[in-house]
Each structure stands twice: as C-alpha cells, then as structure tokens.
C-alpha cells in the first residue's frame, strides 16, 4: 500500500484534502490525523472490518478497545446506552477537549471496536483538523494513537510515518500537536467515576466539578496479578523507545547525582548512555547523548516533548537511557505514568539503592 501524505494547515483548511480524508474513512480506509493530544489512526468506528484494519496496521492486540471520536453531543446518544448526569457536566466543561469518557455501549457499536467489551470510550476532540475530518467522514471515528503498538505515541506526522508508512491509506500532517500526552480517560459507566488513564485534564480539575473521583490503582502502580488495569491498553509495555529506560526518583539534586554515577558506570562498561533531562539540569551532565524535555517549571513543555525525545534517543542508538522524574505538579502524574511504562517500571529510588551499571 502506498501511504498518501497531505498537509492541512488548521488556519487555512484545504477543503479538498479534508473531503478526500473523509471519503477514505467513509470507504473503510485508514487515515492518520492530528488531534490536540497526539496523532490518531482513524477508521469508521461503526464498521467492524474498518476497525479490524486498525489492529492490523498497528500490530495491536485485539482485546485493546478503541476510542470513538465525535464532534457534537447529538453523535453521543446513538453510541451510549446510559449517559449519567456527571458525564453531561463533564462534557459541558471539558468537551471538545482531551477527555475520554467510558459509557455502556449500544448495539450500534461493534465489539470489534470495543475489544469485546460492553462499554465504549468516546471523546470529542478540539483540534480543528480532526473535527473537520470527522465531520467529512460523517461517522464516529475510532482512533487509537497512530503509533505501532508499544511505541511512543506520535506528536508529529513524521513519527506516524516512522511507524506506519505503507500500512495506512493516508497521513494528514497538521504540524506538532499542542498537548503531547493522550487524553485523560474517566469511566462513568459504574456507580462512581474512576480515572483509568491520567492526562492533561487532571484529577483535581475533574474533582472540582463532580466531587470525589477514584483513581484506578493501575494508574500509579505496576500492573500485576493483583492490579489489573480497567483500561486494557494500560497493561501493556507502552510508549517505549528501543533502549532500556531507567527512571530516577527523588529530589532533583539526588537524582542528578545518581544519574552522574550511573553515567560513569555505563561508560566504564562500554555502554552508550543517554540522559533525559530538563533545561534546569542539562548543563550538569557529561553524557554521550543528552535530550532536554522542556523546563521543570513548565510541566506542559515536558508533556509536549516527552514522546519526541524518547523517539529521538532511538535515532542516536543509545544502549540505555537514564531519565529524571517529574512528580511535583498535577500534570506530573500523567507524565510519570507514561515514563514509568516506557521504562517497564525500572526505577532507582535515589538514596535507597545504588544505581544500576
Ligand atoms: O488522546 C487520545 O485519547 C488519543 C487520540 C488519538 O484521541 N487516542 C488514544 O487511543 O490514546 P489509544 O487507543 O492509544 O488508547 C486508548 C486507551 C487504551 O488504553 C484502551 O484500553 C482504553 O483507552 N479504552 C478504550 N475503550 C475502553 C473501554 N471501553 N473500557 C476501558 N478502557 C478503554
Ligand atoms: Mg496508544
């Protein structure tokens, strides 16, 4: 398959290109497009064959359900069997935007789209290009992040092509996305709302609107026999570059010292090491490869560049990556959730154990 690359500028929307993307989707094809969070790989979410093509292109396990993307509240009613008041309040405040809600599904939604579950994930994105394409397709668009399964999510069209060139019909390049982490997922299908995946819309923001919100234990802990994530996708190693990642936990000073020590050990073992650091700490390290993921004082900048930086290490062919940690801010929880998954939960608690060689 030859993948067609088209550029659509959100400020000067190319109507012909939008219509073409809509036609491909309506015809059962695959189109990758930008959203405000990450690039999505779209297909007609009500067509089981089109949804199945997404799993094939990404190499995604078939039990991992997809999110349906819509552009108006009217499009939600045919998909969700029950819409609780909390969901309406959340939609009022956070839609369109980076929030996904899980509802009990209707018959209309095929099990191929929901990974066999009786619930369905729905999101109304705010990115003008995403909205125009969904409207042109005229159907709810199932769209996981447009990466090969297990890889960091794409924040640029180039990342999509790295993983999916020749495997999808069309890639729409709408520039670099604004947020850089996938949407917050909240399950509103049960008695109490539960966050299944943290994101830009934080627990505090949700709680201030609807009161106490529970956090799925798998969000902070390593999924194991006792902690089974309710979002099936969260159980897989994810967001991972090719080199082994170790996350150093602790105060910035302790972390810096421990990473320097780890760099010395890596160097004497003949390993090419990379450091994932911040503008504040970059100058302290002497490392074969350094990648700065924004400023510690501006967690939004770290969220925006995290996946780009993880992918950049691959191009530098490092053997191991030592990463600083980002626990301090509300958004830090979402950043750490992704980083720990990328590391397969390989951490060093600075001050407790000695760093690995
Ligand atoms: O920001 C985003 O949400 C991006 C953009 C493209 O919209 N999409 C995205 O999709 O991150 P994906 O497929 O990479 O992640 C969807 C997550 C998976 O962890 C999946 O298991 C979970 O949502 N999920 C989907 N439907 C679910 C359901 N019915 N119940 C529980 N978890 C669900
Ligand atoms: Mg994904």
Q: Would you say 39 and 128 are in contact if contact means Cβ atoms under 8 Å apart?
A: no
Classify 156 as helix, strand or coil. Answer: coil
* Whole-number average pLDDT of the chain: 95
Q: Using CA positions, which residue lies closest to atom 17 of ligand 1? A: 233
Q: Which ligand is nearest to the CA of 124?
A: 1
pLDDT at residue 226 greater than cutoff 80: no
> What pLDDT, on the 0 to 100 scale, is given for residue 279?
97
Separation between Cα atoms, residue 274 and residue 316, nearest integer Å: 9
Tokens 């105060």, located at residue: 251
pLDDT tens digits, residue range 37-87? 999 999 999 999 999 999 999 999 999 999 999 999 999 999 999 999 999
Confidence of residue 240 (pLDDT cuts 50, 70, 90): confident
**pLDDT, tens digit, 9 for 90 and up, residues 272-315:** 999 999 999 999 999 999 999 999 999 999 999 999 999 999 99
- Taking the centre of ligand 2 as the mean of its atom positions, its distance from the CA of residue 88, in whole angstroms, is 26
Instruction: Tell me if 330 sits within 8 A of 204, measured CB to CB.
Output: yes
Mutate to test the pocket of ligand 1, among 233, 238, 239 (most ligand atoms within 8 A of CB): 233
Q: What is the pLDDT of residue 356?
A: 53
CA of 137 to the centre of ligand 2 (A): 22
Closest Cα partner for 333 from 205, 228, 246?
205
How high is the pLDDT of residue 239? 82
Q: What is the pLDDT of residue 9?
A: 96
Residue nearest to atom 6 of ligand 1 (CA): 40
Cα angle for residues 87, 90, 94 (degrees, 5° grid): 140
Q: Per-residue pLDDT for 357 more than 60?
A: no
Q: How far apart, in whole angstroms, are the C-alpha atoms of residue 67 and residue 120?
A: 7
**pTM attached to this predicted model:** 0.96
Residue 163's SS3 state is: helix
Q: What integer is the mean pLDDT of 235-260? A: 91
pLDDT confidence tier of residue 354, bands split at 50, 70 and 90: low
pLDDT at 219: 87
CB 234 within 8 A of CB 309: no
Does residue 327 carry a pLDDT above 80? yes
Instruction: Please report which confidence band the pLDDT of residue 30 belongs to, taking 50, 70 and 90 as the band edges.
Output: very high
Q: How many angstroms separate the alpha carbon of residue 278 from the centre of ligand 1?
A: 29
Ligand number with the minimum distance to the CA of 104: 1
CA of 123 to the centre of ligand 1 (A): 9
What average pLDDT does the segment 96-101 reach? Answer: 98
pLDDT, mean of residues 198-220: 94
Which residue's alpha carbon is at the smallest distance from atom 13 of ligand 1? 144
Q: What are the pLDDT digits (tens) for 111-154?
A: 999 999 999 999 999 999 999 999 999 999 999 999 999 999 99
Rg, C-alpha atoms of the chain: 20
């Amino acid at each position: 398959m030859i993948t067609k690359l088209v550029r659509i500028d959100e400020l000067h929307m190319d109507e012909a290109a939008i219509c073409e993307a809509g036609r491909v989707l309506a015809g059962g094809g695959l189109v990758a497009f930008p959203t405000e969070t990450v690039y999505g790989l779209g297909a007609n979410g009500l067509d089981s064959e089109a949804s199945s093509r997404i799993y094939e292109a990404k190499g995604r396990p078939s039990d991992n359900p997809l999110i349906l993307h819509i552009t108006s509240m009217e499009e939600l009613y045919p998909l969700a069997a029950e819409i609780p008041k909390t969901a309406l309040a959340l939609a009022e405040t956070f839609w369109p935007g980076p929030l996904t809600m899980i509802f009990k599904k209707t018959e209309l939604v095929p099990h191929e789209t929901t990974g066999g579950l009786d619930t369905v994930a729905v999101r109304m994105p705010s990115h003008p290009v995403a909205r125009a394409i969904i409207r042109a397709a005229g159907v709810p668009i199932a769209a996981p992040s447009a990466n090969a399964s297990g890889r960091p999510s794409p924040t640029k069209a180039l990342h999509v092509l790295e993983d999916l060139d020749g495997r999808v019909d069309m890639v729409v390049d709408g520039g670099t996305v604004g947020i850089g982490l996938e949407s917050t997922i909240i399950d509103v299908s049960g008695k109490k709302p539960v966050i299944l995946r943290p994101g830009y819309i934080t627990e505090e923001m949700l709680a201030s609107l609807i009161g106490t919100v529970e956090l799925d234990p798998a969000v902070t802990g390593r999924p194991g026999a006792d902690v089974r994530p309710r979002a099936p996708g969260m159980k897989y190693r994810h967001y991972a570059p090719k080199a082994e990642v170790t996350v150093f936990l602790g105060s910035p000073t302790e972390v810096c010292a421990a990473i320097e020590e780890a760099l010395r050990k890596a160097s004497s073992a003949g390993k090419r090491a990379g450091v994932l650091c911040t503008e504040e700490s970059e100058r302290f390290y002497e490392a074969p490869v350094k990648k700065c993921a924004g400023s510690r004082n501006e967690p939004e900048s770290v969220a925006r560049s995290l996946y780009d930086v993880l992918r950049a290490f691959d191009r530098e062919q490092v053997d191991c990556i030592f990463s600083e940690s980002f626990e301090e801010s509300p958004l830090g929880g979402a950043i750490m959730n992704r980083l720990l998954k990328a590391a397969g939960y390989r951490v060093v608690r600075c001050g407790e154990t000695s760093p690995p060689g």
